[in-house]
Amino acid sequence: MNFLFKRSPLILLLTSRYIRGSRVTGLLSLKSRVSFIVMAVGVSLLIVVLSIFNGFQRQLKESLWQGGEHITIESSSNGGEIRDYQKIIQFIEKTPELQSRILAVEGGIQSHGLIQRYNIFYPVLIKAVPVTSVEDLLAHKLPSFPRVVHYNRDELTQMSKENFIILGKEMEDLYNFGLGKQLTLAVPGGRFSLGKGVEVSVENFRVSGFFKTGNYKFDSSFVYMALPTAQRFFKMREAVNQITIKVKSLDDLAFCKRKLHRLFSDAEFEREVESAASLSVRTIAEEQENLLAALKLEKTIISIIVFSFIILAALGMVASVYSLVRAKRKSIGVLKALGLPSSDILLIFTLNAMLVGILASLIGGVTGIFLANSLESIVGGIEEIINMFGPDFAALSGSDWSPVELVPKRIYYFDQIPVDINIAFIFMVTTAATILSGIAGYFPARWAASLNPVDTIRND
């Protein structure tokens, strides 16, 4: 009867069903159902958690990408002033390896300062960049200028001639800096001297607009102005204190930094540029290295914790398959006596465990994708329920009630919960769960395949 059992999926399926019993529910024993549920929950949780972390990282990178410069070149000589910055820009723009990776390169000024309002001083960071035209500014075509969301157009056209500034949107709410307000700015002006110390430049400015990047720190502390206005204000004449570069991709940062260092050590560059030896390069990835590393570490730790659910389910699968083999010892002995090869016994029980893993992966994957896409509605619904019954419980306990916000958007600074579903990662998770299920079923299946049919029939 060997031929009945050889290489026929239908015979294998019928034999597998016979070993487990005639009922369809025999496919999943109680222990198998528990392992199935734990694995499905683990897969769905892993997808939801990683989708949220991916969304946070994507939004953080986008806000950093929009707000700050990608590469900054500074000088350690002449008090930080770069007088021949136009020559440096020309060298960078004509370097072939950099041309295809750079969106814009321009000189600018950045400095700490104080802003005064009603005898109160607030620390700010002042950023000055060239504003070629107000049309490009409002159309978001200036790569070094963030998106302007509220403004006085007539005043913006005079930014390069008059003392007009653009503030971060959060400063409007934090300090009550409304459009058209007169503010006093104080910054270091001129050179440092032992006799006089640091000279301070103080002037009045008018708020002509607000920008928004999505980065709370950036939007609550930066003040933008046109470069010519800043050069007069900081008493730098035709100089700048940094050259900023916008690149096309985060992957280009390291490459561009290496090319810039190589350019600065070139003989022609050193001959033409006075400050060549004092130039330094830093990237936005280096400035935000700790923050990005912390997010990556949190993502890794959470992934390990949640993935342990899948491993736990796989260990439960080992116990359930062992129990199944013990319950079907007599059936296994009968089938082996009829001529079913040991390799087919091994295959049957391994496939049984893999089938449970496949079903758990599919159901968990679909559930995880659904929960991730519906997370905003789910969180909103839970908030409504809590805020609906919360005042009643507070009244019974005699305490005050304030509305609950499970995910404070003001703190995390996003309009909705960021979710980024990675299909490749989902495929990897479901495949890993299936493989773990197969491995979990393999060892009990080897024991089943090694059973002696005479002993099992006689003893059972």
Number of Cβ atoms within 10 Å of the Cβ of 315 = 14
Q: What share of the chain is helix, strand, coil (3-state, %, to 5)?
A: 60, 20, 20
Over residues 404-418, mean pLDDT: 65
Q: Is residue 196 very low, low, confident or very high in pLDDT (cuts 50, 70, 90)?
A: low
Cα distance between residue 15 and residue 351, in whole Å: 12
Q: Is residue 458 very low, low, confident or very high in pLDDT (cuts 50, 70, 90)?
A: low
Question: Is 409's pLDDT higher than 70?
Answer: no
Look at the alpha carbons of 279, 285, 290, 291 in this order and tell me if their dihedral is positive or negative: positive
How far from the centroid of its chain's Cα atoms is residue 451's Cα? 52
Question: Is 24's pLDDT higher than 50?
Answer: no
Cα distance between residue 131 and residue 208, in whole Å: 14
Question: Is 10's pLDDT higher than 80?
Answer: no
In which element (H, E) is residue 193 found?
strand 182-193
The encoded tokens of residue 308 equal: 């342990």
Give the DSSP per-residue string, 228-274: HHHHHHTT-TT-BSEEEEEES-GGGHHHHHHHHHHHHTSHHHHHH-T
Q: Is residue 253 very low, low, confident or very high in pLDDT (cuts 50, 70, 90)?
A: confident
- Are 345 and 417 contacting, i.e. CB atoms less than 8 angstroms apart? no
Straight-line distance from the first to the last Cα atom of the chain, in angstroms, rounded to the nearest whole number: 23
Number of Cβ atoms within 10 Å of the Cβ of 11 = 15
pLDDT winner (highest mean) among 281-295, 328-342, 353-367, 398-412: 353-367
Average pLDDT, the chain: 78
Cα distance between residue 47 and residue 142, in whole Å: 38
pLDDT at 388: 81
Number of Cβ atoms within 10 Å of the Cβ of 415 = 9
Question: Is 7's pLDDT higher than 50?
Answer: no
In which element (H, E) is residue 124 found?
strand 120-129
Per domain, the residue ranges of the chain are: 7-61+292-458, 78-274
Q: Are strands 222-226 and 120-129 parallel, antiparallel or unpaired?
A: parallel
Question: Is 411's pLDDT higher than 90?
Answer: no
pLDDT at 224: 93
Number of Cβ atoms within 10 Å of the Cβ of 350 = 23
Q: Is residue 229 very low, low, confident or very high in pLDDT (cuts 50, 70, 90)?
A: very high
- Are 280 and 83 contacting, i.e. CB atoms less than 8 angstroms apart? no
53: left (phi over 0), alpha (psi -120 to 50) or beta: alpha
* 441 compared with 412, residue with greater pLDDT: 441
Out of 101-115, 267-281, 388-402, 421-435, least confident range: 388-402
Over residues 349-360, mean pLDDT: 80
Render the burial of 425-449: b for 16+ CB within 10 Å, e for the rest.
Answer: bbeebbebbbebbbbbbbebbeebb
Out of 185-194, 231-240, 323-332, least confident range: 185-194
pLDDT at 66: 62
pLDDT winner (highest mean) among 45-49, 128-132, 137-141: 128-132
What percentage of the chain exceeds 70 in pLDDT?
83
Q: Is residue 371 very low, low, confident or very high in pLDDT (cuts 50, 70, 90)?
A: confident
Out of 100-109, 175-184, 232-241, 450-459, least confident range: 450-459
Question: Is 342's pLDDT higher than 80?
Answer: no
How far from the centroid of its chain's Cα atoms is residue 105's Cα? 27
3-state secondary structure at position 197: strand
Question: If we measure between CA atoms, which residue out of 157, 162, 169, 164 comes closest to residue 210?
Answer: 169
Over residues 21-36, mean pLDDT: 55
Q: Is residue 166 very low, low, confident or very high in pLDDT (cuts 50, 70, 90)?
A: very high
pLDDT at 15: 53
* 229 compared with 334, residue with greater pLDDT: 229
Q: Is residue 64 very low, low, confident or very high in pLDDT (cuts 50, 70, 90)?
A: low
pLDDT winner (highest mean) among 42-56, 88-102, 304-318: 88-102
pLDDT at 18: 45
Over residues 67-87, mean pLDDT: 83
Question: If we measure between CA atoms, which residue out of 89, 220, 224, 213 comes closest to residue 160?
Answer: 224
Count helices and strands in the chain by DSSP H and E runs: 19, 10
pLDDT at 11: 46
* 411 compared with 56, residue with greater pLDDT: 56
Cα distance between residue 320 and residue 28, in whole Å: 9
* 56 compared with 107, residue with greater pLDDT: 107
pLDDT at 459: 61
pLDDT at 206: 93
For residue 335, what is the DSSP state? H
